[in-house]
């Protein structure tokens, strides 16, 4: 076999592997058309992760369809309550309930309690546009006063504006201004 044929086969093989890896990655993570709806904050897990009881059945069904049957995503759905676990976009508060207890901090517990007092049991508006690595919907959320929770966390020094996975698709300017 000539070196040219070997090189062509190698390029085709690498291309096929890249395509297969991309397909696998997008089946776990991947954006979808923004889903917006209302619900109540059933539980504040920590400062950046929540369980939302979605008000509208149509909205809940859109989440279900967007999950594409992916088990990593479906484990965060509860059809009995039309609830879904969401991760707040572009923020990362200190840990408070991590399974590795050594990662939990007093600051994380304080922020979690502050957010819980602010949100738990209250209505919110969510705008979700991606799936995170662990299968949670990546969303923005409003607070009872109508302000954006992520922006509030950044303004109050509870989190930086995290852009390592991309900028916020809807609130980039606001989050940048809150960081300054």
Residue 69, pLDDT score? 93
Better pLDDT: 79 or 14: 79
Predicted local confidence at residue 21, as pLDDT: 37
d(CA 1, CA 81): 63
CB burial class (10 A; 0-12, 13-18, 19+) of residue 15?
exposed
Q: Is 47 helix (H, G, I), strand (E, B) or coil?
A: coil
Residues 6+ apart with CB under 8 A from 165: none
Report whether pLDDT(174) > 80. Answer: yes
pTM of the model: 0.81
Q: Which residues contact 12 (CB under 8 A, 6 or more apart)?
A: none
Q: Mention every residue, 6+ apart, whose C-beta is less than 8 A from residue 82.
A: 39, 53, 54, 55, 57, 60
What's the mean pLDDT in 13-42?
Answer: 62
The enclosing H or E element of 27 equals: helix 3-28
Please report, for residues 41, 120, 124, 125, the alpha-carbon distance to residue 37 in angstroms, rounded to integers and kept in the order given: 13, 17, 9, 6
Cα–Cα distance for residue pair 54/60, rounded to 1 Å: 6
How far is C-alpha 29 from the chain's CA centre? 10
Q: How far apart are CA 42 and CA 82, in angstroms?
A: 11
CA–CA dist 121, 167 (Å, integer)? 29
**pLDDT tens, residue by residue, 90-104:** 999 998 888 888 888
Is the confidence at residue 161, as pLDDT, over 80? Answer: yes
Q: Is 8 helix (H, G, I), strand (E, B) or coil?
A: helix
- Lowest mean pLDDT, pick from 2-6, 85-89, 94-98, 150-154: 2-6
């Amino acid at each position: 076999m000539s070196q040219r044929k070997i090189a062509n086969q190698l390029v085709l093989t690498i291309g096929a592997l890249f395509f297969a890896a991309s397909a696998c990655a997008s089946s776990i993570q991947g954006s979808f058309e923004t889903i917006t709806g209302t619900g109540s904050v059933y539980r504040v897990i920590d400062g950046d992760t929540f369980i939302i009881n979605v008000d509208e059945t149509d909205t809940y069904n859109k989440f279900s369809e967007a999950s594409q049957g992916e088990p990593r995503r479906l484990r965060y759905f509860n059809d009995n309550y039309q609830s879904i676990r969401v991760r707040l976009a572009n923020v990362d508060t200190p840990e408070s309930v991590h399974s590795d207890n050594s990662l939990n901090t007093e600051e994380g517990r304080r922020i979690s309690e502050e957010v819980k007092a602010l949100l738990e049991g209250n209505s919110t508006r969510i705008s979700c546009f991606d799936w995170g690595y662990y299968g949670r919907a990546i969303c923005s959320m409003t607070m009872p006063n109508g302000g954006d929770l992520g922006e509030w966390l950044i303004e109050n020094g509870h989190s930086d504006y995290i852009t390592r996975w991309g900028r916020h698709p809807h609130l980039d300017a606001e989050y940048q201004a809150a960081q300054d």
